[in-house]
Structures are given as C-alpha cells and as structure tokens.
Amino acid sequence: MMKKTLLGATVAIAAIVPSIATAQKVQSGSRNGLSYTATSRIIGQTSTATVATGGDPRYLALNSSGYSGSVGMLMTYANGDRFVCSGTLLSDRRSVLTAGHCVSNGGGQKAADLVRTQVIFANDAVSLSDASIYTLPAGTVAIDVGRYIVNSNYTGEVIDQNDIAVLKLDSFAPSFAKAYEIYTDDLKGAEFNVNGFGTRSTVGGAQGNTPPFNAGTGRRRQGNNIYDYAWGDSLFEGFFTDETNGRNFFGTADVEFSYISDFDNGLAAQDQSRRIANALGLGAIGDANFANTGVGAMEVGVAGGDSGGAAFIDGKISSVNSYGLTFGASFGDFGGGLNAGWGEFSGYVPTSIHQGFITSAIAAGVPEPTTWALMILGMGAVGGAMRRRAKTTVRFA
C-alpha cells in the first residue's frame, strides 16, 4: 500500500455553500504528515461583479443563453438561520438536482432542523436585470420543496462522490424554465460549462472572494473549465483511494469518482492538477498527462453558494458542484488560501455514476401533507445525533 504523503503541503477543502448564511461543514485532520482542513463552501479570470459596477459581462448566465432552469435555493432552519445553494431543474419539471450537503448532514436524511426550502426561478426580466434572486424581486417564482431525496451513501464528509440529492417541488416549475437531461459519458479531459448563484469577485482569480474583493450571492454566473481527473484515476495507483484502518486519503467517504478541475490563469505555476500529480512519487505523470494551463478568458472556479449547481456538456448535466480544495501555495495556489482564486481545485459529483438514483428520484412522488408530517417526525429522531453545520452570516450585494 502506498504511503499517502505530500511533503510540505497543507490541504484546505471547502464544500461550495454560502448563505443568507453560508452553510459550512468543517472537517480537519492529519494523515501521514499531511494536514488538512475541510469546510463546506463563479469566480472568473476578471470581475464577476454586476456589469453596472464594472463586472465582465462574458460571465453572465442569462435565461436566453439556456440557463432558465438553473435555480437558487433558500433553506430556512428552525432557529431562523437561512442558507443558500444552487440547483437544476430535471426533465419531469418537478424535480431539482442539487448537492446533498445543501440539505443533509448525511445518512440519506434531510437535516433534522431544516424546516423549509424554497427553490427560486428567475424569469427573463430578472435574468436581464441581474438582480439578486434572494430578495425575491418581481419576476421570481419561489416554490417550496415537498420531499427531500438524499443519496443514501452520502456520509456528510466534504469530499464524497455521493454528495447528491433530488428535491421534489410542491408544484411544477414555471413554463419559462428549461429542464435538462443527464450526461452519462466519461468526464476525464472533457471541457464543460458550469454555473451557479454563489459568491462573486470584484477582481477575479487574482483575489478570488477574499474580502474586500468578495461580492454577494444571488446573481447567476457561468464559465468553462476542464475535468482534469478523478481521485481514483488509475495513474495514481490508489494514492488517494487505498484505505488504512478504514480511511482513504481524505476520510471514509467514497472518492474514486470525485472529479476536480483546477482554476488556471495561463501560467504553469498555477497548474495545480499537474503539480499534485507530479508530487505523488510516481514520476512526472502530471507533466505527461495533465499539463494544461486553462481554456483562456472563460476559465472559472466555483465558489461558495454555487454548491448544487450544474456543469453541462452538450447541454446536459454532467456533474453537480460539490467542494473547493487547495494544497497551498507550494502547489500553485496563487493566493495561498482557500478563496476560490487561481490555482485552487473545484470538486464535482458526476451524474454518470448516479443515473439510477436520479431516475428513481424523478419517478418518486411528493407525499401528501399528513404523510410528510410523519416523515419529519421520523427524521427528527435520526437527525438529532447528526453533526450540526457551522453557520456564518452573509450579506446581499
């Protein structure tokens, strides 16, 4: 079994969620000399602020460009805290695909203290105005979730290939919203388009969303990247997936098919996917297989609040936004910290391995209110023992 060590590296991981609070899971530890911190958490090359304040219009994700079924999600907890994520309308027009960590602490159950989730659609006028959907301006349609279907294999850990859920709406999506099919082919080396309603940057990848360069949630952005590899890539010879005492490199969750992209800026120094692959003690496999410096001006990284949003290939959903991760400045992180800037990883849950789960969830109905009340009581008994999520305040901008 290979020793899992990256000398001198400190790993920071973040699932891609902020909020009206940003919902954050925290995970930290040390393995074979490698320390990491994980927290549950579209930054472009240049500013993704509003166009009126100098933002680059190339990153806008307008309804007219095919994003009308990309939705924001507003979760309300029993103590009054509210959180945001992103999601995508599925083919039946009553199901929304999102990340499991947006609504669950693991175990296939809705978070016990989650009392309401609203899925927010923006019509063409709101899309063009670039208003924050979380203020519910005229032209938004908010529909409550009536049923939560969380993948039963989702552990609640930050890096987990089963971090996926389907939410059943109380009513059908508005007619202006586009519905999407699932992409089922291999992802390695494929270019994709990704979107979400998460935090933005007034500068771009040089600063990411580090204050004071951060901008608020609720405005949809998009851009491109490349799936570099999954942690179970055969070239890694089990480095990230082999288990010792029941734990792989990152924890106990399945990570073999957890895919990543790095946020390139055109320079080899920020090509973190190549540099990490080179550091595994297997020779220069990064140089030979993963050397690319990005797709140019449209290259983006995923940020807080984009969690649950979709990446697309050929107009079909290829993955769900799940987490952010950095191995630090020594491996190309431009800012040296987890801020959705150049040289960091974004992590994704591929839809190809969850085709059966998604199909079954689409076919599932929405329970009657009395049945749902009984289900809530049952979930409460299980959820009370689950690890609670850290909650931080967020602002609108």
Its pTM surpasses 0.85: no
Quick one: pLDDT at residue 218? Answer: 79
Nearest alpha-carbon partner for 362 in 317, 300, 301? 317
pLDDT at 396 over 50: no
Of 115-124, 185-194, 292-301, which range is least confident?
292-301
Tens-place pLDDT, residues 340-366: 666 688 999 999 999 999 999 999 988
pLDDT at 381 over 50: no
pLDDT at 330 over 80: no
pLDDT at 103 over 50: yes
Residue 329 or residue 112, greater confidence = 112
Residue 375 burial by Cβ neighbours in a 10 Å radius (0-12, 13-18, 19+): middle
Q: 10 Å Cβ neighbour count for 253?
A: 20
Tens-place pLDDT, residues 270-284: 687 888 899 888 999
Mean pLDDT over 47-76 rounds to 78
If you average pLDDT over every residue of the chain, what do you get? Answer: 79
Quick one: pLDDT at residue 274? Answer: 87
Grouping H, G, I as helix, E, B as strand and the rest as coil, residue 108 is coil
Quick one: pLDDT at residue 238? Answer: 96
Mean pLDDT over 374-390 rounds to 32
298 falls in which pLDDT band (50, 70, 90)? confident
Quick one: pLDDT at residue 70? Answer: 96
**CA distances, 119 to each of 95, 126, 137, 386 (Å):** 10, 15, 14, 25
Paired tokens of 389: 């999520």
In angstroms, how far is the first alpha carbon of the chain from the final one?
49
Paired tokens of 113: 């203290």
58 falls in which pLDDT band (50, 70, 90)? confident
Mean pLDDT over 215-221 rounds to 74
Mean pLDDT over 261-274 rounds to 75
Domains of the chain: 32-364 (2.40.10.120)
293 falls in which pLDDT band (50, 70, 90)? confident
pLDDT at 387 over 50: no
Mean pLDDT over 215-232 rounds to 87
pLDDT at 50 over 50: yes
Amino acid at 271: D
Nearest alpha-carbon partner for 197 in 180, 213, 215, 185? 215
Mean pLDDT over 128-153 rounds to 94
- Do the bridges between strand 10-15 and strand 34-39 make them parallel or antiparallel, or are there none, so unpaired? parallel
**How far apart (Å, rounded) are the C-alpha atoms in residues 397 and 55?**
13
